[in-house]
Amino acid sequence: MDPVTLIVAALAAGAGTGLKDTTAQAVKDAYAGLKALVLRRVHDTPAGEVAVVEHEKDPDTWSAPLAKTLATSGAGQDGELVAAAQRLMELLDPAGAQAGTYTVTATGDHSVAAGVIHGGVHIGDTRP
């Protein structure tokens, strides 16, 4: 799962469960922290805050606009933001996290998201 997709999925999952009275406080806190990081990231992006707020109300309609806003703002390369999304997903679905479903590594200018990689990974125009 690429980092932006992970962030959007975590926001949708957190909004769906984080607003209920029966949800664990750790999930509510993780969702609030992720949302705050996302809002800070898209603050200077046109309609960024609108996309976040509207996504919380209607994830089906607003997932694509939010993903585009996050990609444009460089959210996929923000290690703190990606880690917060991954942490929320781990709290919501520990079995999925243990299976590596949400594993994302983001460093430098490149990100790699994979459950399993067989062989090497090459980035760029020339082979090592």
Helix axes 79-92, 3-18, angle to 10 degrees: 50
d(CA 49, CA 41): 9
Query: What are the tens digits of pLDDT across the range 110-123?
Result: 444 444 444 555 55
Query: What are the tens digits of pLDDT across the range 7-46?
Result: 998 898 888 775 666 668 888 899 999 999 999 999 988 7
d(CA 106, CA 42): 19
Check residue 113 and report its DSSP letter: E
The model's pTM: 0.70
* Chain Cα centroid distance, residue 62: 14
d(CA 93, CA 90): 5
